[in-house]
Structure 1
């Protein structure tokens, strides 16, 4: 069942949540300002090629922090207007709290939070994940130089991930790569792409596929891996 967290417990569980991420990490906080410990943990997750999404409503980064983030290939940032939620989650746990990511909040404020486990609090965890995904969908993804990414930035030929990346797609939140989705349906990967385009989940321009708004609403997502780029889809997606 959910655990209540006070200030010190929230800080502890947040650090453990980041350290425990094996496939993906979602950090939603109004202020994009990170203390040294959080930066150290994110650097480690980046080395492990963990998919990291940071959603924020206001940036207070200094130039050196912007340069630091620019060097993290697996961290993507999104700006969400009127964001006030604070939610941090990996593939197995979630914290909903009053705690911001910046250091002042962790040192000086009195905070509260709730810790959710995917295993023990399945439906609530899923509801929190779905809302986090909605916030990601309605946010504007920005480059680390804080320039807005064009809507069609997902244009690439998919390269099927290997090893841990493929397992992350399958195990993280019941997501499958396009090739594994095709295998489940009993068709070729090329046929799967054709059907995804036919259903409006992908858009083909030239030789490149783009994730559409309909595809995002259906739970599709675009990812950057060690070998290239790929899409992930809900296991139950009907094509």
Structure 2
């Protein structure tokens, strides 16, 4: 039968769920912010080549999270718009809870959850598994580079700049979204057009041609990013 979990029990059984995964691990949580303990557990599962799927719903990824994920071969990450569910499961156990991943081990919070075990509640477990698979199917798998994350972080800052010209322009990720493209696809097109080149470290660099069409390279505490006119030709 399903078990009720309070805050401390949710933390305990979530850790056990991750540790006991032998074939697959699904983590669905709006916020993709992982503490050191969760990262340690996932790194161990990655070494064992366990299939790990993480679905998140808030596009506020921190560069440190991306750096960490880029080192792991068996973790696939997807973005699901309007995601509010928190569901964690392996091949035998499922937890549906109010606990976000970034709140793991914060036992001062007041959380509730339900533990479902396949051997005791197979139909309920299967329903939860099928819904998790549906969420994965409607999600967009992401391979976000560190440059893209910096661009996303900088969008709000660009909007607030006291530069009238900057307010007429968009970051690469904003411009890509306008044309329903991935940021990397937009950058590839600008390389083809000669607006950007790749330097010997594989980083994009603005060309004189790119500057002539209004492209700008800016820097702040997160690093560098590009600005483009809202009507930049992309074809």
Q: TM-score range by the shorter chain?
A: 0.5 to 0.7
1:104 deviation in Å? Answer: 7.1
> Is the CA contact (8 Å cut-off) linking 2:11 and 2:104 kept in structure 1?
no
- What is the count of residue pairs matched by the alignment? 150
Alpha-carbon distance in 2 for matches of 1:19, 1:58: 26
Alpha-carbon distance in 2 for matches of 1:43, 1:149: 28
* Offset from partner CA, 1:175-219 (integer Å, 9 cap, x none): xxxxxxxxxxxxxxxxxxxxxxxxxxxxxxxxxxxxxxxxxxxxx
> Is the CA contact (8 Å cut-off) linking 1:69 and 1:144 kept in structure 2?
no
Please tell me whether residue 37 in structure 1 is matched to residue 46 in structure 2: no
Q: Report what 1:6 is aligned to.
A: 6
Q: Report what 1:196 is aligned to.
A: none
Q: Report what 2:53 is aligned to.
A: 53
Alpha-carbon distance in 1 for matches of 2:67, 2:81: 24
Q: What TM-score, normalized by structure 2, do the two folds share?
A: 0.60
> Is the CA contact (8 Å cut-off) linking 1:17 and 1:89 kept in structure 2?
yes
| Structure 2 gap ranges (5+) | 149-181, 185-235
Residue 10 and residue 149 in structure 1: after superposition, are their counterparts in 2 closer, same or farther (change >3 A)? farther
For residue 65 of structure 2, give the secondary structure of its aligned residue in structure 1: helix
Alpha-carbon distance in 2 for matches of 1:124, 1:132: 12
Q: Report what 1:89 is aligned to.
A: 89
Residue 81 and residue 7 in structure 1: after superposition, are their counterparts in 2 closer, same or farther (change >3 A)? same
Alpha-carbon distance in 2 for matches of 1:105, 1:58: 21
Q: Report what 1:79 is aligned to.
A: 79
Q: Report what 2:123 is aligned to.
A: 123
Q: Report what 1:23 is aligned to.
A: 23
1:71 deviation in Å? Answer: 0.7
1:62 deviation in Å? Answer: 2.5
1:60 deviation in Å? Answer: 3.9
Q: What TM-score, normalized by structure 1, do the two folds share?
A: 0.59
Q: Report what 1:141 is aligned to.
A: 141
Alpha-carbon distance in 1 for matches of 2:135, 2:4: 24
Alpha-carbon distance in 2 for matches of 1:144, 1:23: 25
* Offset from partner CA, 1:102-154 (integer Å, 9 cap, x none): 0378343200000000111100000000000000000011014287599xxxx
| Structure 1 gap ranges (5+) | 151-239
Alpha-carbon distance in 2 for matches of 1:76, 1:140: 11
RMSD: 2.0
